[in-house]
Structure 1
Amino acid sequence: MSDDRSDVIIVGSGLNSLVCAALLAKKGIKPLVLERNAVFGGCIRTEELFPGYQHELMASWYPLFLGGGAYAKLKDDIAQAGVEFIDNGYTTGVVLPDGRSLALKQDIADAIQRLDGVAAGDGALIGAMADEIFNKNGELLFGLLGGSPYQFSTFKLLFQQWRKRGMDQLMQFAGQALIPFRSWSQKHIKHPLTEALMAPWVLHSGLGPQDAGSALIGKLTFAAVVGGGMPVVKGGGTQLVNALVSIIEKHGGKLLANTQVDQIIVQNGKAVGVEAGQKTYMANKAVVCNVTPTQLYQHLLPNVAPEVTQAANNYRYGRGAMQIHLALSSRPAWANEEMLNVPLAHLATDLDQVSMSVMQAECGLIPTQPTVAVGQPAAVDPSRVPEGGWIFWLQIQDMPRVLKGDAKGEIEVDATQGWTEQVREQVADRIVGQLENVLPGLSEQIIGRRVLSPTDLEQLNPNLVGGDIYSGTCSLDQFFWFRPFAKTGAVKGHQTPIKNVFHIGAATHPGPGLGGGSGLLVADLIK
């Protein structure tokens, strides 16, 4: 048994865990963070994959964090620790397979003008959409996403909105929130280029264009990026992790790596500590778990009511993802040189292509033409590459979690073996080939390549089940009040059946993304 007692034990060291620990430590509650891996940070992991090239293995962009409540509370501490968030005034863009492209700045008015120049009428649509999100519905939308579903403040917000709008308008808002992006796009968007620009952002919430609720989430994500920017951490996300670790330690908290927590110790209905291998760590106040519902209720807290176990077993994970890291000897030869400024663009054709690739992945097939998120971190932070060099951070969010075959019939797949090294590299060849079609000579520029399949991603972080980088699909039955699942017994939101055990992370409200929201909400609950 460890002789050192802590006030709160936090299982896992992702962003939500570090935020929670830092906030607790600052108010005098001593946390102990236990991490199974050799490094802290969860999905934030910067590595020099090739000499002089600093790559983000998984997460890379921080608009949610800078716009959220966790950063507001820790901003000064993070700055004092030497962390600098930077952007370059550009946000997103799109490149079509025929080479046509569009780059957008961090400016809604400019985006309207640029889009109307290549897709007449769609610029005005974007303007109306942004006004609806930020002005007409901003208070309600961001209030719901930023607060806890079960706190009085949320019910107060709904009551105020009912007084302001009336029941009919509230019901209209709810009805509009259920519309799939595909239906909204077919009704309102006029040009395929605009479809290709916006539709991929739906995938960044773990949904597909055909899913209920994806119109609201897709529009919100796109508008937030264009309006708020795509900042990165200068030098890599590990700088932020190190800063949060230093804040925790400065205020009396501790962190241990290479420590796999096996079970929570419960006595008389209260958690008193955890078992990790041959060691026991005791907690005076609470245990906080940044894990999936499957891990929580099958391993850490196995002896719960049958209905809770069943709800956890019913929790669904979404599509897999793939990361491809390319180190280039020189800048890519975009036909439109302005694309060199874009932090994160997408290589896509139109709404049908994005929808088809999602459906193929959900059927277990490697898509014929995956949608490719093309990240260019060196466009924002040149310090990550040698002079003249470049990095492509490619993320493909329409990969099958359970691999059954290849929609194109070119890659031989053994469903019993899944994501083998050979399959992984052949899929990467297809994706790099798609990119080279719009960037002739790309293969000659590549001096280093590393590919992470869905299986590789889960090995790096067990919360990414089957390579699902969102730790569970964000369909309407697993979102907001229903994340990870609807109230079951004593389980609701972040509260588990054990009163002083709390659940945080991407599988809980407000869901995935580098925001730190659940860590903030639970830190506020622990006194």
Structure 2
Amino acid sequence: MAARDVIVVGSGINSLVCAARLARGGHRVTVLERNEELGGCIRTEELFPGFRHDVLSGWYPLFVTSPAYAELGPELEARGLELLNTDTPTAVLTEDGQWTVLSTDRRANVQRLGAVADGEGQRYADELDRFLEEDSGLVFGFLGSEPMSWRASRLVASEVRKQGTRETASFLGRSLETSRAWLERAFASDLTRALLAPWVLHAGLGPDDAYSGVMARVITASLELAGLPVVRGGSANTVAAFRQLIEDHGGELRTGAEVERIVVRQGRASGVRLIDGEQLDADAVFCNVTPTQLYGRLLESEHVPHHVARDASAYRYGRADMQIHFALSGPPNWPDPALADVPMVHLTSGMDGVSRAVNEAQRGLLPAEATVVVGQPTAVDPSRAPEGKWILWIQLQELPSVVTGDAAGELSAPADGAWTEELREAYADRIQQRLARHLPGLDDQVEGRRVYSPADLEALNPNLVGGDPYSGACTLDQFFLWRPMGRTKNHETPVKGLHHIGASTHPGPGLGGVSGYLAAGQLL
């Protein structure tokens, strides 16, 4: 295909993958980022002297298993990207002090879960084997394809030929199962359920959401197969490697370049206009934004069909997120030393606790007992902190964007429901107190704490509307064929030459870069 001038709006993982593929393919690529640093949700900052924190995202199992990494990985590694991993990616610690670990070693998982409950290890093996042998080809194939494409159609047709119509229909029915239904049916132990249930939060779901069961199996399989990789020195090194790759192939990346308008001539995108009035011409434009921004701000209304504008205005955003970063004087005092080697531990009272916190957040309440995602990047990459010291990366994915009350009855909601600095710190205090009950001496170890409320997250990145880290609710009506909307096809838009990428588009959020990969394929 002849070389084209291409503009990519935004510089998150999907933008970088898209730009890298197109630049390698001979196109003239310009990436425009409104902030002063590239990366979108990939940002590493020295929040405290000597401590390099991944402020937002920081875990790469979806990237290392993606087609983008298969294609671009060697060139990124040649430019300094180094991924570090572990054989114990995740664990759970319950409020009553029980714990267990999930490994990348199947035999170890069978043995460990077998000790949790009689026969539990074999049940785990049977469930994962069934998914990998019978369902994974269709699931991973669909998540890695444009949903409305001949490739996706051939994938389904092949599955029907291989397994038969009834078995394929049975799979489609199973795929709608909630993770609660799957976990209660498949496992006997509440501890096993507590180990796996919190992971659906990382897909923007709750245990009682449709299709959360299949997503729980997808994530469990990914953890066992790929672990939980991190980038040596911080995720900003991912951005640096992409930048060098794009520039080495003739691309340009600009910061402080906020797009005000997509320029459309005769029904086709012909470039963009920046807020300072500068206009850049292009043959194709790729926008890593929410549908609210794309159809409500960047495009003139005359270029947006009424039904698309209506659907975009109805696009829903999900629960909000809070990030808490701790700089510690040393590793925390876990109930068992094995937990210090695990990069991500969930602190929860169990599957019902996850469900309860999700429900409270969806009703506007601060959860009384939120699921605490305890990330330990220094367990895998000690270079991020001064020698002997430690980082805790805390994520809370069950918070309301607008606060109407406190399920615990302790904190007062602001009259307008907005997150204030006072509320942010008070809720972080609650989380720190819970952690300290399980990690003796934690308060004395804290050398620094930085908290980002949902409002702070949206201020960092406008795609995180209301603090939603996934750029839109991931429930079934806004996923697969319907992400972002049922009336748009794949990553196309009603404007020719304008492509929509990012977490708001198929296949949804995560650091896989798949939407950028798929959309770039339209010009390759």
What code does the residue aligned with 1:206 have? G
Measure, in 2, the Cα distance between the counterparts of 1:33 and 1:275: 14
Shift of 1:164: 1.1
Measure, in 2, the Cα distance between the counterparts of 1:104 and 1:226: 8
Shift of 1:37: 0.5
Residue 108 of structure 1 corresponds to which residue in structure 2?
Answer: 106
- Select between 169-178 and 279-288 the one with higher mean Cα deviation: 279-288
SS at match of 1:182: helix
Shift of 1:283: 3.4
Residue 497 (structure 1) aligned to one of 485, 494, 498: 494
Unpaired runs of at least 5, structure 1: none
What code does the residue aligned with 2:496 have? K
Residue 79 of structure 2 corresponds to which residue in structure 1?
Answer: 81
| CA-to-aligned-CA distance 1:158-210 (integer Å, 9 cap, x gap) | 11111111111111101111111122223332122112111100101001111
Residue 41 of structure 2 corresponds to which residue in structure 1?
Answer: 43
Residue 229 of structure 2 corresponds to which residue in structure 1?
Answer: 231
Shift of 1:417: 4.8
Alignment of 1:373-522 (within 5 A): 373-486=373-486, 488=487, 491-522=488-519
Measure, in 2, the Cα distance between the counterparts of 1:345 and 1:475: 25
Measure, in 2, the Cα distance between the counterparts of 1:91 and 1:417: 37
Q: Answer whether contact 1:143 1:157 (CA < 8 A) is retained.
A: yes
Residue 524 of structure 1 corresponds to which residue in structure 2?
Answer: 521
| CA-to-aligned-CA distance 1:483-510 (integer Å, 9 cap, x gap) | 1011x2xx21200001210000001011
SS at match of 1:204: helix
Measure, in 2, the Cα distance between the counterparts of 1:349 and 1:182: 15
Residue 298 (structure 1) aligned to one of 296, 299, 308: 296
- Select between 48-57 and 150-159 the one with higher mean Cα deviation: 150-159
Identity in percent: 48
Q: Answer whether contact 1:119 1:193 (CA < 8 A) is retained.
A: no
Unpaired runs of at least 5, structure 2: none
- Select between 288-297 and 401-410 the one with higher mean Cα deviation: 401-410
What code does the residue aligned with 1:75 have? G
Shift of 1:113: 1.1
What code does the residue aligned with 2:502 have? G
Measure, in 2, the Cα distance between the counterparts of 1:75 and 1:281: 34
Measure, in 1, the Cα distance between the counterparts of 2:218 and 2:519: 25
Residue 260 of structure 1 corresponds to which residue in structure 2?
Answer: 258
- Select between 11-20 and 219-228 the one with higher mean Cα deviation: 219-228
What code does the residue aligned with 2:373 have? A
| CA-to-aligned-CA distance 1:454-493 (integer Å, 9 cap, x gap) | 111111111011111011111111111111011x2xx212
Measure, in 2, the Cα distance between the counterparts of 1:122 and 1:311: 45
Shift of 1:351: 1.3
Measure, in 2, the Cα distance between the counterparts of 1:183 and 1:461: 35
Q: Answer whether contact 1:43 1:59 (CA < 8 A) is retained.
A: yes
Shift of 1:96: 1.1
Alignment of 1:63-462 (within 5 A): 63-303=61-301, 304-462=304-462
Shift of 1:65: 0.3
SS at match of 2:286: strand
Q: Answer whether contact 1:63 1:231 (CA < 8 A) is retained.
A: yes
What code does the residue aligned with 2:53 have? H
| CA-to-aligned-CA distance 1:100-144 (integer Å, 9 cap, x gap) | 221232112211210111233322222122112222112111111
Q: Answer whether contact 2:4 2:284 (CA < 8 A) is retained.
A: no
Shift of 1:218: 1.4
SS at match of 1:211: coil
Measure, in 1, the Cα distance between the counterparts of 2:127 and 2:463: 34
Q: Answer whether contact 1:456 1:467 (CA < 8 A) is retained.
A: yes
Measure, in 2, the Cα distance between the counterparts of 1:251 and 1:521: 20
SS at match of 1:38: coil
Shift of 1:403: 1.2
Shift of 1:155: 0.6
What code does the residue aligned with 1:346 have? H
Provide TM-score, normalisation by structure 1: 0.97
Provide TM-score, normalisation by structure 2: 0.97
What code does the residue aligned with 1:255 have? L
| CA-to-aligned-CA distance 1:255-291 (integer Å, 9 cap, x gap) | 1111110110001111111011233333332000000
Over 3 Å counting, the alpha-carbon distance change for 1:400 and 1:171 in structure 2 is same
What code does the residue aligned with 2:441 have? G
Measure, in 2, the Cα distance between the counterparts of 1:159 and 1:187: 30
- Select between 7-16 and 473-482 the one with higher mean Cα deviation: 473-482
Measure, in 2, the Cα distance between the counterparts of 1:278 and 1:232: 37
Shift of 1:6: 7.2
Measure, in 1, the Cα distance between the counterparts of 2:368 and 2:118: 30
- How many pairs does the alignment contain? 520
What code does the residue aligned with 2:89 have? T
Measure, in 2, the Cα distance between the counterparts of 1:37 and 1:417: 27
SS at match of 2:239: helix
What code does the residue aligned with 2:423 have? V
What code does the residue aligned with 2:218 have? L
Q: Answer whether contact 2:124 2:187 (CA < 8 A) is retained.
A: no
Q: Answer whether contact 1:405 1:415 (CA < 8 A) is retained.
A: no
SS at match of 1:469: coil
